[in-house]
Structure 1
Amino acid sequence: MTRTGGPEVLVARESPTPRPGTGELMIRTEAIPVLYPETALRSGAFPLAAAPPLVFGFQAVGVVTEIGPEVDAALVGRRVAVATPGFGSYAEYVCAPAVSATAVPESLSAADAAAVLMSGSVAVTLLDAAGRTGTETVLIEAAATGVGAALTQLAAQRGLRVLATAGGPAKAERARALGAAEVFDHRDADWTTRLRESLGGATVDIVFDSIGGATAADLLDLVTPLSGRILGYGFLSGAPAQISAADLIARGLTFVGCAGPHWLAVVDANRARAFELAANGHLDPLVESVLPLERADEAHRLVEARTPLGKIILRPTRHPFAASTNSAGNR
């Protein structure tokens, strides 16, 4: 990443192979997930952990080739998923803290593991936090892709009645295929009115809110009084849910904020659960395409446009321009 800006700032370059320091391991990368939040970080909308130029990226899956001091030697040769301290994963070799490593089941491919690494672990954590009983009606926003797609699959399997939103006919069809009973186009400014009409006086017990903004206030009177809860974990609208404590108190509702270091620590701890669900066929990774690492700029254009129905995965192609990261930038 040469600077903040558009996808063109992601440029393939050769640099020295990194070396793991104390408490670190190095993997030979096999698959790198392209995450929607990464596009905002690349653009400069949020601060980076270090100033560019740097090797971009937050997560990767690969085989451990080297360990630093104070790391279990048994990890060498194992396929793991790792998380970097905020940069460094868009590379052929990636160094990361050993405590971030999660073993990948043998039956799960590297690409599939990369695809569920974030979306699956967040979905599992959200379902736990929702305190579901298995009989509720839930609303899942942006249900066709990413976390929403994983949530839709898992919620439907657990017996919840899933109402969903999606952007456009193709994504609506995908959401239905994943288990949604009804789908509303959230690009329609009146979609909450359509939801109200469909409910016919009934209410939604749990809302998984990834859109945020003013729409959240329109949902308040559609959530079950006294027991209803809203879990806010994203803001595709550009702003968090615009609701106040007074809004919640007047209706007896609960709002759960799903962000911050403590939340992310639980998400990280649930990676193994997400991998097992995918390995056992309970969670479709929904990989749309695997692109060579040097086409990271193209991958970002696709993700930023929100056109893919599945995950975009990067894979090093083992030629000079898919080379590894700068050792200083990697750590």
Structure 2
Amino acid sequence: MQAILLTGTGAPDVLVAGDVPAPTPGPGEILLRTEAIPVLFPETMLRSGAFPLPVEFPIVFGTQAAGVIIAVGAGVDAALIGQRVLVGSNTFGTYAEKVVVPADIATRIPDAVSSVDAAAVGMSGSVALRLLEAAKLTGTETILVEAAATGIGAYLTQLAKEYGAARVIATAGGPEKAEQARGFGADTVIDHLDPEWPQRLRESLDGATLDVVFDSIGGESALALLDLMTPLRGRMLGYGFLSGAAAQVTTMDLIMRGLTFVGCSGPDWLAGVAAARGEALERVAAGSISPLVDRVLPLDQAAHAHQLLADRAAKGTIVLQPVISHS
């Protein structure tokens, strides 16, 4: 079968299409014929070497996929065969025509939701739901959503007022993405490509403060935001670092301002995100989440997809689709 091999860490060209043996489900596992494979920003970080990968190269890359169950291992109900599901993998292997994963991590895709839309929403929509629950918005608060035009930020912006945000301020990169963020429900949009964007944000607040910051940019800008937050009850939820570095915030920075920083990562956090996949997909079926698909590319263009993300050229999730084969 065709798969995308990570041959080492580095630029997108370390992703190479190749032929590998099709996997076979063992006890408690399912075999999925993939129909839609999302290209996720954390995958680009892993590919680049930003985080150490304790693996021997080459490996079949990828962490999520949507598709049809075509076989099951011992102990798994055969009635699952033919169902469309969304799966995640902690051991990679999803950039492929067929994927084996434990049956208990599969989330059924509602009939009204396409596999492409399920792949697009699976991670980002689930993270957004968990972030909004963790924020505990009160219905009166002003929030900041960074990178609100795409990915997690876009779903946060779509859902924020339902979850209790009174005013949604967003950042986005450039006029086109700013307009997209407004369409998702942002009341005010700041261009974070402007190096002085925290100052532009201060001006837009006009003396008001931020009660909640959903921080996906990290780096030095996170520190600059602390003086714009509401003393004693302001909280920053850190879940990404588009800047290339985690939020440069110390405990003393928080203590002196009476603020809270919530780190949204780690095994327990990720387990909660995985548990939210079903709700995210049901919201797509119900129309309360609009999936963001930038484009659909053949599986063998995975390296190109990673380059597009590196260039910040995508306005939604890039989805890979295998060419149908009989291997």
TM category (shorter chain) comes to over 0.9
| Aligned partner of 1:255 among 236, 242, 261 | 261
| 2:106 is equivalent to residue 121 of structure 1 | no
| Aligned partner of 1:4 among 6, 9, 14 | 9
User: Partner residue of 2:196?
Assistant: 190
Cα drift, residue 16 of structure 1: 1.7
User: Partner residue of 1:96?
Assistant: 101
By relative contact order (CA 8 Å, sep 6+), the higher-ranking structure is 1
| 2:290 is equivalent to residue 284 of structure 1 | yes
User: Partner residue of 1:200?
Assistant: 206
TM normalised by structure 1 equals 0.94
8 Å Cα contact 1:83-1:97 kept in structure 2: no
| 2:321 is equivalent to residue 315 of structure 1 | yes
8 Å Cα contact 1:49-1:85 kept in structure 2: no
8 Å Cα contact 2:39-2:305 kept in structure 1: yes
Q: Counterparts of 1:134 and 1:94 in 2: how far apart (Å)?
A: 43
* Alignment map for 1:58-73 (pairs within 5 Å): 58-73=63-78
8 Å Cα contact 1:4-1:52 kept in structure 2: no
8 Å Cα contact 2:137-2:164 kept in structure 1: no
Cα drift, residue 248 of structure 1: 1.4
Deviation per residue, 1:252-296 (Å, 9 max, x gap) = 211100000010010011001111111111111111111111111
TM normalised by structure 2 equals 0.95
1:95 counterpart letter in structure 2:
V
Percent identical: 61
Between 72-81 and 116-125, the greater mean CA deviation after superposition: 72-81
2:241 counterpart letter in structure 1:
F
Aligned CA-pair RMSD: 1.4
Cα drift, residue 71 of structure 1: 2.2
Unaligned runs of 5+ in 2: 1-5
User: Partner residue of 2:270?
Assistant: 264
User: Partner residue of 1:231?
Assistant: 237
SS at match of 2:240: coil
Q: Counterparts of 1:190 and 1:303 in 2: how far apart (Å)?
A: 24
Cα drift, residue 159 of structure 1: 5.2
User: Partner residue of 2:3?
Assistant: none
8 Å Cα contact 2:65-2:119 kept in structure 1: yes
Deviation per residue, 1:71-124 (Å, 9 max, x gap) = 232322111111122310011111112121111111000000000000000000
* Alignment map for 1:205-216 (pairs within 5 Å): 205-216=211-222
8 Å Cα contact 2:174-2:191 kept in structure 1: yes
| Aligned partner of 2:40 among 35, 58, 64 | 35
User: Partner residue of 1:302?
Assistant: 308
SS at match of 2:17: coil
Decide which structure has greater strand share. Answer: 2
| 2:173 is equivalent to residue 167 of structure 1 | yes
Q: Counterparts of 1:93 and 1:263 in 2: how far apart (Å)?
A: 28
8 Å Cα contact 1:156-1:180 kept in structure 2: no
SS at match of 1:12: strand
Unaligned runs of 5+ in 1: 324-331
Between 48-57 and 264-273, the greater mean CA deviation after superposition: 48-57
Q: Counterparts of 2:190 and 2:24 in 1: how far apart (Å)?
A: 49
8 Å Cα contact 2:132-2:163 kept in structure 1: no
Between 71-80 and 205-214, the greater mean CA deviation after superposition: 71-80
1:144 counterpart letter in structure 2:
A
User: Partner residue of 1:109?
Assistant: 114
Q: Counterparts of 1:220 and 1:301 in 2: how far apart (Å)?
A: 33
8 Å Cα contact 1:231-1:258 kept in structure 2: yes
